[in-house]
Amino acid sequence: MNNKQIEFLKEAYKKEKDAKIIKRILMVIYNLQKETLRDIGERLHCDHKLVLYWKRRYEKEGLEGLKTRPKSGKPRKISRRQEANLKRIFSKENPDKPWTTKRALVLIAEKTGVDYSQRQTTRILNRWNFGLSVGRPIYWHKASEEEIAKFGKKNLVLQR
């Protein structure tokens, strides 16, 4: 019986891509080979209690028990469909009017009715792989006279 289980787990080990699940499979294999929990823990650089936890889950649920269960979390404020529509809008580039966080925030509020803070809007856009940045002159020497004058009103040091 143990040999069949070990062979079954070795096949699952070869097919699995998730490193956490691979480690859990190894814990069970070593346990079936009669290694102590402490030895397995040392070998896999984890606590022996963790080895016991995964051993028991495997005994109760089989291979499915070694997989990570979905975790609950705060539900999203906008639906997947609304998210897809917004992504489509943001993906259309307009060089004359580039996206800023404030414009994105207003658009999200208009389309979904959800008001996010600027920081949260930035997080959402980064999660969607839309890094928003409006180009600004890096060196004030390279900026136009008009930009320097506009900026210099606030910074007396830069006035010419």
Query: Following DSSP, what letter does each residue of 63-121 receive, concatenated?
Result: GGGGSPPP---PPPSS-HHHHHHHHHHHHS--TTS---HHHHHHHHHHHH-----HHHH
> What is the pTM (predicted TM-score) of this model?
0.51
Considering only CA atoms, which of 136, 137, 135, 132 is closest in space to residue 103? 132
Tokens of 105: 């925030």
Q: How sure is the predictor about 73, in pLDDT bands with cuts at 50, 70 and 90?
A: confident
Distant-in-sequence, close-in-space partners of 78: CB < 8 Å, separation ≥ 6:
86, 108, 112, 114
| pLDDT, tens digit (0-9, with 9 covering 90-100), for 80-103 | 899 999 988 888 877 677 778 888
Dihedral over alpha carbons 5, 62, 66, 24 (to 10 degrees) = -20
pLDDT at position 117 is 92
Q: Examine the pLDDT at 49 and tell me if it is beyond 90.
A: yes
pLDDT at position 82 is 92
| pLDDT, tens digit (0-9, with 9 covering 90-100), for 4-48 | 989 999 999 999 999 999 999 999 999 999 999 999 999 999 999
Backbone angles phi, psi at 80, to 5 degrees: -60, -40
pLDDT at position 92 is 81
| pLDDT, tens digit (0-9, with 9 covering 90-100), for 117-153 | 999 988 888 888 876 655 565 665 666 777 767 766 6
d(CA 5, CA 108): 53
